[in-house]
Amino acid sequence: MISYGVYAGSLRSAIHAMKYQNNFWLGEILSQRMIMLLKNKNWQIDVVMPVPLSEERLQERGYNQAALLSKPIAKYFGWEHDHRSLVRVKENHSQVALTREQRFENVRSAFLSELPRRNNLRVLLVDDVFTTGATITEASKALQTAGFENIYAITLAKASIRN
């Protein structure tokens, strides 16, 4: 798991603009930072997946900010982009005001991989912000159950919380 930067200052403002103010064009620009970071890794990736939103949140927002970041990454490296194999099956509360323990409980069993087993594939999970690792952990568990061999993760920013 790697992150491009710290969830603060102008990076935080850019993420908020992309996520909450419909500035989805920022996904292309911000993903370039993640691409630079991935170029220095020797990760062997088969498929790139955005961390999915719930149906309700997707309807509300109209787009998945993680997919805005994952699509350009997959395109740049020539990797498959798959936004259907991993789904969020649990409508959970916003994680923003929750403690570390509450975040893990909030996303427990929130994800499912609905497709037939995809053995031996190496997946790159993409999300906007890493806070406690609860979301990435639960998404990874669902992918492991579906037979994905190696799971890597990248986020645009990493936050630090004190809870």
How large a percentage of the chain has pLDDT more than 90? 52
Element (H, E) at 139: helix 134-145
Q: Taking 80 as the threshold, does the pLDDT of residue 119 lie above it?
A: no
Q: Taking 80 as the threshold, does the pLDDT of residue 163 lie above it?
A: no
Residue type, 56: E
Per-residue pLDDT, averaged over 51-77, amounts to 92
Name the maximum alpha-carbon separation found in the chain.
42
CA angle 49/162/96 to nearest 5° reads 50
Q: Helices 26-39 & 65-77, crossing angle to 10 degrees? A: 50
Residue 138 has a pLDDT of 86
Which pTM does this prediction carry? 0.85
Residue 61 has a pLDDT of 86
Cα-Cα end-to-end distance for the chain = 21
Q: Please tell me whether residue 151 adopts helix, strand or coil conformation.
A: strand
Per-residue pLDDT, averaged over 95-105, amounts to 59
- 74 confidence band (pLDDT: 50, 70, 90): very high
Domains of the chain (ranges; CATH) run 2-158 (3.40.50)
Phi, psi of 16, rounded to the nearest 5 degrees = -65, -40
Q: Taking 90 as the threshold, does the pLDDT of residue 123 lie above it?
A: yes
Cα separation of 19 and 3, whole Å? 17
Buried-exposed string 91-118: b where 16+ CB fall within 10 A, e elsewhere: ebeebeebeeeebbebbeebbbbeeeeb
Q: Taking 90 as the threshold, does the pLDDT of residue 145 lie above it?
A: no
Average pLDDT, the chain: 85
pLDDT digit string, tens, across residues 45-63: 999 999 998 888 888 889 9
Q: Taking 60 as the threshold, does the pLDDT of residue 93 lie above it?
A: no
